[in-house]
């Protein structure tokens, strides 16, 4: 890392025996070219003195949320803005719980909430604690919130137990941080257009046809792409998911609206990922008045909607196109057909149906391209989105080679 590339890292230290390793970690971070500020919880100060960390980081250690002197120098908001990265090592079960539930009752937890820097944690705790469902649920929440977990290692613990729970060695944390950093720039300069969620096809002013898509998969991809440095435009069906920060969202209702919006944005994009569950058909007639409940039988005539993905791949051959395939049977066969018929670069295929794909927090994907395939096993959609984007980025860069 050269001087001009110097990155600010906030090292958070929480109260565990592995806190003694934070001294070495601070030294290695500085050696890597990071500018390091240390923030300790009260419990952490029982394991290692702030003076040690101050000497190593060459800056006063941040300890208290309500410290008037600290606030006038670098208060919690400034500290949150200053950080390009937050690394919490060691991160205790207690602090994981705090982060998972959005507590802000000390300086470190408050900074975590107030910062939009990527957060990495290196958990350290007794192996039985690490296995506890409460801890694991909290870890899953953090993953869902985009936090990177540097999973603890197995081995003999300070308490005498043997199992998974030891904090990674400082050099391993540095390696993990480097990988995260690489990923965080992987899509820099790339313009990504993503569709997400369900479309609604109006029958009359109060009724519509739709499907079970929640938008979670598409939003997760949009957020992950943005975190990897891409310029993201998200074209979203109607839903109640909050807009991820740092990207442009265009909300649409029908398949036709989505079609128009995508074609307008496509001229200015490098990669198009079609995650939306677009209605294949819409009513031929949209009644302007509410249909009255008089007839015993009612027939709706439907017409085919334009295929947004196929149109983009046909009209914009330079765009790298990634389709999804939602199937209840013959997953791979149907996905390969979509890859060929729609002339796509990649397809991410998922099983849908009872408790699968739609509106779940987890998903699994079979990712296919012309001469390759990769299985991404069940995991939170946020994590899956990152894994998918690694594959997309690799194939995108290889396309013209």
Residue 358 lies near ligand PMT (rule: CB under 6 A):
yes
Among 308, 385, 391, 392, binds ligand PMT (CB under 6 A): 308
How many degrees, rounded to 5, is the angle at CA 364 between CA 360 and CA 366?
Answer: 140
Q: Is 112 a catalytic residue?
A: no
Give least dist CB 283 to ligand PMT, A: 15
Q: Which two tokens stand for residue 217?
A: 């998969």
Among 22, 213, 236, 265, binds ligand PMT (CB under 6 A): 213
Give the orientation angle of helix 93-100 with respect to helix 133-144, to 10 degrees: 50
Among 125, 230, 325, 391, binds ligand PMT (CB under 6 A): 325
Give least dist CB 239 to ligand PMT, A: 8
Residue 214 lies near ligand PMT (rule: CB under 6 A):
yes
Q: With contact defined as beta carbons under 8 Å apart, do 116 and 148 qualify? A: no
Nearer to ligand PMT by Cβ, of 99 and 352: the residue is 352
CA-based R_g, the chain, Å? 24
Residues in the chain: 401
Q: Map residues 274-293 to x or -, x wherever contact with ligand PMT holds by CB under 6 A.
A: xxxxx-x-------------
Residue 385 lies near ligand PMT (rule: CB under 6 A):
no
C-alpha–C-alpha distance, residues 291 and 295, integer Å: 10
- Give residue 18's region: left, alpha or beta (phi > 0; psi -120 to 50): alpha
**H/E element, 71:** helix 68-74
Give least dist CB 244 to ligand PMT, A: 14
Of residues 91, 159, 269, 374, which has the active-site annotation?
159
Q: Count residues near ligand PMT (CB under 6 A).
A: 29
Q: From 61, 60, 7, 59, select the one nearest 33 (Cα to Cα).
A: 7
Contact range with ligand PMT by CB under 6 A, out of 46-54, 181-189, 201-209, 322-330: 322-330
C-alpha–C-alpha distance, residues 365 and 368, integer Å: 9
Residues belonging to the active site: 159
Question: Could you list the residues that contact ligand PMT (CB under 6 A)?
Answer: 195, 197, 213-218, 255, 274-278, 280, 305, 307-309, 323-326, 338, 350, 352, 357-359
């Amino acid at each position: 890392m050269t001087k001009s590339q110097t990155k600010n890292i906030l090292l958070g230290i929480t109260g565990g025996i592995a806190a003694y390793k934070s001294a070495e970690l601070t030294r290695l971070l500085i050696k890597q070219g990071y500018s390091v500020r240390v923030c300790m919880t009260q419990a952490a100060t029982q394991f290692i003195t702030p003076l040690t960390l101050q000497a190593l980081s060459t800056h006063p250690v941040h300890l208290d949320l309500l410290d008037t002197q600290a606030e006038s120098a670098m208060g919690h908001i400034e500290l949150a803005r200053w950080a390009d990265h937050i690394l919490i090592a060691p991160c205790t079960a207690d602090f994981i719980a705090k982060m998972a539930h959005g507590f802000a009752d000390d300086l470190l937890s408050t900074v975590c909430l107030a910062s939009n820097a990527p957060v990495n944690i290196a958990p350290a705790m007794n192996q039985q604690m690490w296995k506890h469902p409460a801890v694991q649920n909290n870890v899953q929440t953090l993953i869902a919130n985009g936090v990177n977990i540097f999973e603890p290692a197995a081995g003999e613990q300070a308490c005498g137990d043997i199992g998974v729970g030891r904090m990674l060695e400082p050099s391993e944390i540095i390696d993990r941080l480097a990988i995260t950093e690489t990923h965080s720039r992987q899509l820099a300069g790339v313009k990504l257009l993503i569709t997400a969620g369900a479309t609604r096809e109006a029958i009359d002013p109060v009724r519509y046809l739709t499907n079970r898509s929640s938008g979670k998969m598409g939003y997760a991809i949009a957020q992950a792409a943005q975190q990897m440095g891409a310029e993201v435009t998200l074209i979203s069906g109607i839903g109640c998911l909050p807009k991820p920060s740092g990207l442009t969202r265009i909300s649409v209702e029908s398949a036709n609206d989505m079609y128009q919006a995508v074609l307008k944005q496509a001229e200015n994009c490098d990669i198009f990922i079609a995650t939306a569950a677009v209605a294949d058909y819409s009513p031929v007639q949209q009644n302007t008045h509410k249909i009255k409940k008089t007839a015993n039988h009612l027939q709706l005539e439907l017409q085919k909607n334009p295929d947004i993905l196929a149109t983009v791949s046909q009209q914009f051959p330079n765009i790298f196109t990634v389709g999804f395939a939602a199937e209840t049977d013959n997953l791979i066969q149907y996905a390969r057909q979509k890859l060929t018929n729609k002339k796509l670069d990649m397809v991410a295929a998922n099983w849908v149906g009872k408790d699968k794909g739609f509106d779940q927090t987890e998903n699994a994907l079979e990712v296919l391209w012309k001469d390759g395939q990769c299985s991404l096993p069940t995991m939170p959609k946020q994590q899956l989105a990152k894994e998918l984007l690694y594959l997309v980025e690799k194939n995108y860069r290889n396309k013209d080679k």
